[in-house]
């Protein structure tokens, strides 16, 4: 039998198939290249990074964070209390190891002791949440004693030099509110606002920083999508509704509280958790597709809502919830960022489970099953900075029962945050999660997040060794290795100085110019070496192009400084610095004098030199040139 004609019949088909496969392949490869370029996987070469080489602004807020239900103990009137006592379809407890919050860390009774622990760390802020179910145990009935407990706690914090930061909703609310459908129903938002107003009126004079909600995206993902937090639902449409209602509740609460006389000074914001969803296989379009969907619903939709007032909670084939509120833009005095890690997403051709989270061999894992990924912290800070408001890192930490990787975590994550600050992202403070071990929701007491370990029986607190890098950084606030008490990226402190001509000038009046402050003295030989170069390379080169160079002479009388300038033959202005008070704003008064501070047109410090070293000096000249 001759088969040839049949094969010939197939040729057009094969041609079309080849064309189709070719186009598909080219399309695939092209898309992967495009996506990889647009969303590069940031991973730093940690072997060649000196994580200790960082410095934070002097006025940076350092704190620790907790949440009421996780630490207080005896919270028996909220949604979690009920949840901890319920079982799933298989009759299994909702909480790991059958745990329940119980007396938690007994923080309700031991808060004074805990304030001492905070002081021992050296922090100056404390973020905690107010338990709504204590304040309003029955709808419309308020427990004023509970309210006064929080007042006492705020006062004790302030007495200890620690600024209280309050969260109004951190995953828990009263049982009566849950029974009404909580944030599933838009009408219920009023109850939250009433509670918030009550607390705000009581504490606004003591608490400068307020967070309305902690992590609406986590609340929604865990409670309405994965079903592992109360109310344990798995309903994407409802998830979209709850997110929308919580975001609207934030917006309404913000405006309501801000309208209270005297509230202009209080800073009110929302806490957003960011977990990046990254493709597990960077060559696989399915992984990219699911990563995008997850990033959109989890992070991009809420952020877009906050900045534009419009966005949509969209998951193809599941939910498309348009969210809109013209009052959303302008509803943040700051944004709180909670950052822990990222997830690697692997898409599957399985409608029942279209994607899974995967791990990579090379990653260092925390006990929560996600990796150490400090680069992600830097990425998240950049993402959230697009809102254009100052940032507080309201939570960051890890569960590490062995305490082996805690130091590495702290060093790397603080380094990552410092990188963001250097890139001029406005970060006002950082709160470590958590002050002490606590009830980790569905994970019960198995996760050890505390800087302090809490004995499960006696509730005694003990500092973990691995917490030391945090303590070191918090207390490094003095001066860095070069004696500087300021860092690049910070706003220059303001002061008034007097030129040797007698004229006075305030640094802030020079805004719009690039300012170089040269700290010097007649007895300083290195300064003498450097000054002719500054005269030529900085002053003569740029004095007519928006640059001001000022020699600030350390604590010498007027005639000495006049003589000094003559000897040097320099023509740039010199100013007096009695008692080295100006010097002391930038560097430790006990440290050496030869330094240049380069300040950009907005008043930010952009370059710092110490001594007169060729490479650093040339880099400074390049920097100055780039600014003009
Ligand atoms: C929550 C905390 C929780 C922490 C660690 C955050 O998402 O706000 O309540 O304990 O993560 O998992």
pLDDT at 485: 86
Gap from CA of 555 to ligand 1 centroid (Å): 51
For residue 314 the two structure tokens come to: 């969209």
Gap from CA of 273 to ligand 1 centroid (Å): 9
Give the distance, in angstroms, between the CA of residue 212 and the centroid of all CA atoms in the same chain: 16
Gap from CA of 65 to ligand 1 centroid (Å): 10
Query: 261: which residues sit within 8 A by CB, 6+ positions away?
Result: none
For atom 10 of ligand 1, the residue with the nearest CA is 440
Q: Which residues line ligand 1 (CB under 6 A)?
A: 67, 70, 214-215, 218, 273, 338, 395, 433, 440, 449
Count of other CB atoms within 10 angstroms of residue 510: 16
Nearest atom within ligand 1 for CA of residue 271: 8
Gap from CA of 370 to ligand 1 centroid (Å): 13
Nearest atom within ligand 1 for CA of residue 214: 8
The residue whose CB lies within 8 Å of the most ligand 1 atoms, and thus the one to mutate among 395, 396, 432, 439, is: 395
Vertex 355 angle, CA 341 and 33, to 5°: 75
Distance of alpha carbon 576 from alpha carbon 572, whole angstroms? 13
Nearest atom within ligand 1 for CA of residue 441: 10
User: 290 near 347, Cβ under 8 Å?
Assistant: yes
For atom 3 of ligand 1, the residue with the nearest CA is 440
The residue whose CB lies within 8 Å of the most ligand 1 atoms, and thus the one to mutate among 441, 442, 454, is: 441
pLDDT at 23: 92
User: pTM for the full model?
Assistant: 0.81
Distance of alpha carbon 468 from alpha carbon 491, whole angstroms? 29
Count CA atoms within 13 Å of residue 244 on its CB side. Answer: 22
pLDDT at 7: 60
Distance of alpha carbon 127 from alpha carbon 63, whole angstroms? 7
Gap from CA of 523 to ligand 1 centroid (Å): 56
Gap from CA of 275 to ligand 1 centroid (Å): 12
Nearest atom within ligand 1 for CA of residue 218: 7
pLDDT at 1: 47
**Residues of the chain below pLDDT 70:** 1-8, 477-478
User: 77 near 141, Cβ under 8 Å?
Assistant: no
Per-residue pLDDT reduced to its tens digit, 93-136: 999 999 999 999 999 999 999 999 999 999 999 999 999 999 99
Distance of alpha carbon 373 from alpha carbon 382, whole angstroms? 15
Q: Which residues of 377-396 are buried (b: 16+ CB within 10 A; e: fewer)?
A: bbbbbebbbebebbbbbbbb
The residue whose CB lies within 8 Å of the most ligand 1 atoms, and thus the one to mutate among 440, 451, 454, is: 440
User: 421 near 377, Cβ under 8 Å?
Assistant: no
pLDDT at 481: 75
Nearest atom within ligand 1 for CA of residue 449: 5
The residue whose CB lies within 8 Å of the most ligand 1 atoms, and thus the one to mutate among 299, 433, 448, is: 433
For atom 9 of ligand 1, the residue with the nearest CA is 67
Distance of alpha carbon 441 from alpha carbon 171, whole angstroms? 9
Enumerate the H helices of 339-398 as residue ranges. Answer: 374-385
Enumerate the H helices of 423-464 as residue ranges. Answer: none
Sign of CA pseudo-dihedral 566, 568, 570, 573 = negative
Distance of alpha carbon 490 from alpha carbon 56, whole angstroms? 8
Gap from CA of 247 to ligand 1 centroid (Å): 19
- The strand order across the sheet containing 547-554 reads 504-506, 496-499, 574-577, 547-554, 514-520, 595-599, 605-610
Distance of alpha carbon 192 from alpha carbon 135, whole angstroms? 12
Taking each helix axis as running N to C, give the angle between helix 236-258 and helix 189-203, from 0 to 180 degrees, rounded to the nearest 10: 40
Q: 553: which strand partners?
A: 520, 576
Catalytic residue positions, numbered: 215, 395
């Amino acid at each position: 039998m001759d088969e040839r004609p049949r094969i010939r019949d197939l040729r057009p088909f094969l041609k079309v198939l080849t064309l189709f496969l070719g186009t598909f392949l080219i399309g695939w490869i092209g898309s992967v290249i495009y996506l990889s370029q647009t969303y590069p996987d940031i991973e730093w070469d940690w072997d060649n990074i000196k994580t200790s080489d960082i410095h934070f602004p002097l006025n940076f807020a350092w704190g620790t964070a907790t949440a009421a239900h996780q630490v207080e103990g005896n919270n028996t009137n909220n949604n979690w209390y009920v949840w901890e006592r319920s079982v799933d379809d298989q009759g299994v407890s909702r909480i790991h190891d059958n745990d329940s919050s119980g007396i938690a860390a007994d923080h309700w009774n031991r808060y004074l002791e805990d304030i001492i622990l905070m002081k021992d760390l050296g922090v100056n802020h404390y973020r905690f949440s107010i338990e709504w179910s204590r304040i309003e145990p029955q709808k419309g009935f308020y427990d004023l004693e509970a309210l006064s407990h929080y007042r006492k706690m705020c006062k004790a914090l302030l007495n200890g030099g620690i600024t209280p930061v309050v969260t109004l909703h951190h995953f828990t609310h009263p049982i009566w509110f849950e029974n009404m459908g909580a944030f599933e129903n838009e009408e219920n938002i009023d109850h939250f606002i009433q509670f918030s107003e009550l607390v705000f009126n009581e504490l606004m004079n003591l608490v400068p920083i307020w967070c309305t909600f902690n992590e609406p995206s986590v609340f929604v993902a865990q409670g309405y999508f994965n079903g592992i937090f109360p109310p344990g639902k798995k309903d994407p449409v409802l998830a979209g509704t709850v997110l929308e209602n919580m975001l609207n509740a934030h917006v309404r609460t913000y405006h309501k509280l801000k309208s209270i006389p005297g509230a202009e000074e209080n800073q009110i914001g929302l806490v957003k958790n960011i977990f990046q969803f990254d493709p597990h296989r960077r060559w696989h379009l399915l992984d990219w597709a699911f990563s995008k969907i997850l990033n959109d619903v989890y992070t991009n939709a809420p952020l877009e809502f906050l900045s534009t007032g419009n966005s949509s909670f969209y998951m193809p084939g599941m939910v498309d919830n348009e969210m809109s509120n013209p009052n959303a833009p302008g509803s943040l005095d700051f944004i709180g960022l909670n950052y822990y890690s990222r997830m690697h997403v692997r898409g599957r051709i399985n409608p029942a489970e279209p994607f899974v989270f995967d791990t990579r061999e090379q990653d260092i894992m925390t006990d929560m099953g996600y990796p150490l990924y400090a680069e992600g912290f830097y990425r998240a800070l950049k993402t959230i900075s697009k809102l254009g408001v100052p940032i507080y890192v309201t939570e960051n930490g890890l569960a590490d029962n062995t305490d082996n990787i805690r130091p590495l975590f702290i060093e790397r994550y603080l380094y990552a945050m410092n990188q963001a600050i250097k890139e001029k992202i406005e970060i006002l403070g950082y709160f470590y999660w958590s002050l002490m071990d606590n009830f980790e929701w569905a994970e019960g007491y198995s996760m050890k997040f505390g800087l302090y370990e809490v004995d499960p029986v006696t509730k005694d607190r003990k500092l973990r060794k691995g917490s030391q890098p945090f303590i070191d950084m918090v207390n490094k606030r003095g001066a860095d290795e070069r004696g500087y008490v300021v860092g690049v990226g910070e706003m220059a402190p303001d002061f008034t100085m007097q030129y040797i001509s007698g004229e006075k000038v305030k640094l802030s009046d020079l805004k719009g110019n690039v300012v170089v402050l040269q700290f010097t003295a007649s007895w300083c030989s290195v300064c003498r070496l450097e000054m002719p170069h500054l005269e030529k390379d900085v002053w003569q080169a740029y004095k007519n192009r928006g640059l001001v160079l000022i020699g600030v002479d350390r604590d010498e009388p007027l005639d000495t400084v006049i003589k000094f300038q003559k000897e040097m033959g320099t023509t740039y202005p010199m100013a007096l610095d009695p008692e080295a008070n100006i010097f002391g704003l930038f560097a430790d008064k006990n440290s050496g004098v030869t330094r240049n501070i380069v300040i950009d047109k907005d008043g930010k410090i952009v370059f710092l030199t110490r001594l007169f070293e060729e490479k650093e000096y040339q880099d400074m000249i390049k920097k100055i040139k780039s600014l003009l």
